[in-house]
A = this chain, B = another copy of it.
Amino acid sequence: MSFIPIKGRKARVLVFGSGGVGTMAAYALEKGGMAEVTTVLRSNFKAVTESGFKINSIDHGLDISWSPTHNERHCSDNASQPYDFIVVATKNLADFTPGVASLIDRDVISDTTAIVLLQNGLNIERPIVDAFPYNPVISGVPYIGAIESPPGTINHVNHDELIISPFRNDNIPCKLSEDAAMNFQEIYGSCPNVTCIYERSVEKARWRKLLYNASYNTIAAILGMDTSRMRASEFIIDDLVRPAMKEIQATARQVSGVHLTDDLIETVIRQDNYKAFFRPSMLQDIDKGKHIEVENIIGEPVREAEKAGVETPTLRVIYSLLKALQFKIKIVEGLVEVPASGEKLKYGISRTRGG
């Protein structure tokens, strides 16, 4: 089995998940001239099929009206032949079913279709490898501030820098995954306005991004605070944000041999533009009552640390609090039911005395 880089024709790319990250990826892929993109639309289907995407982009310009080559409702709607790449840019919600893997229709996949994950967090590749053990999996860490609001309108505020790595698995030759990742990097990087970097190992970029996502992103979500107010307080940085980052640093080193320096931590602490009073993605989800990416952003780092014997007291509490906030969202949605009487609950036996 080998991966034959797509040359002499446009790569057929399906982009699954057309929020901020997915749409900007679709746009860059088509602008580069080496790909023909089909996007799968879900919540924004009506808005986009009626009037296309509206894009305001720091990289590409303002007031862009755009549609990809094909907009479809379902994965298989434009699948007369399999895709070369399936780009998955949905939120990664490991604690909800169906998972991402089961949303990808098998009809659209051949032996050589590579699956590209443009998602945050740790161990996101595992369910994909389980579902598609013989396909190359490409792990992408997107650095891009791109938010969809309202449906079909994308505001893209930070330069698009995408780190691409092969995710190796024992079922297929390493070279297969590497060739696929390098080919995707070439196709994406052919867009002159974006930066697309190939790294041999996926770990460093993932842990590097977790420095921010497992600290600022999570703590902002719990507190309902933008990162500038957090910095103005000083103690939120000293007592919560930096301790969380130090625990990611220790875990990355022990689990993956990745060395994240103290200087890098201080840089990430100051990374957001202070004047933007930025509300990180998980906080934006909380603001809207949407599901949060709790498991891959913080659950997996905590579990990996535990397996490796690394202490993560700060991350553990943050993780449990975020699981609790997700539990609240599930109550509102009726996905979990809270009994009116506690008699059958593990902690339901009631007494009469209040606190």
Contacts and interface: CB of A to CB of B under 8 A. Distances in A.
A268 B354 CA distance: 10
A230 B321 CA distance: 11
Contacts of A224: 328
A296 B196 CA distance: 52
Contact of A231 (B223, B273, B348): B348
Given A229-B331, A275-B340, A235 B270 contact: no
A280 B96 CA distance: 30
A351 interface: yes
A194 interface: no
A270 B231 contact: no
Given A274-B341, A275-B341, A347-B270, A353 B159 contact: yes
Contacts of A229: 327-328, 331, 338
Interface stretch (A5-13, A47-55, A184-192, A212-220): A212-220
Given A239-B320, A355-B213, A342 B231 contact: yes
A352 B275 contact: no
Interface in A23-62: none
Contact of A324 (B228, B236, B316): B236
Interface string A299-343: 000000000000001101110110111011001000010111110
A55 to B, nearest CB: 17
Contacts of A318: 317
Given A274-B348, A320-B240, A347-B231, A225 B328 contact: yes
Nearest to A270: B349
Interface residues of A, number: 69
Contacts of A223: 321, 324-325, 328
A145 interface: yes
A342 B320 CA distance: 32
Contacts of A145: 354-355
Contacts of A158: 352-354
Contacts of A171: none
Contact of A350 (B240, B275, B342): B275
Contacts of A313: 313-314, 316-317
Contact of A274 (B233, B278, B350): B350
Contacts of A237: 346-347
A272 interface: yes
A130 to B, nearest CB: 25
Interface in A250-276: 267-276
A34 B230 CA distance: 52
Nearest to A325: B223
Among A159, A217, A229, A237, the one with the most B-chain Cβ atoms within 10 Å of its Cβ is A229
Given A232-B345, A317-B240, A328-B229, A351 B267 contact: yes
A318 B217 CA distance: 17
A197 interface: no
Contacts of A219: 321
A219 B324 CA distance: 10
Given A143-B353, A232-B348, A274-B345, 4 more contacts: A225-B328, A231-B347, A270-B350, A272-B350
Interface of A: 143, 145, 157-159, 212-213, 216-217, 219, 222-225, 227-237, 239-240, 267-276, 278, 280, 313-314, 316-318, 320-321, 323-325, 327-328, 331, 336, 338-342, 345-355
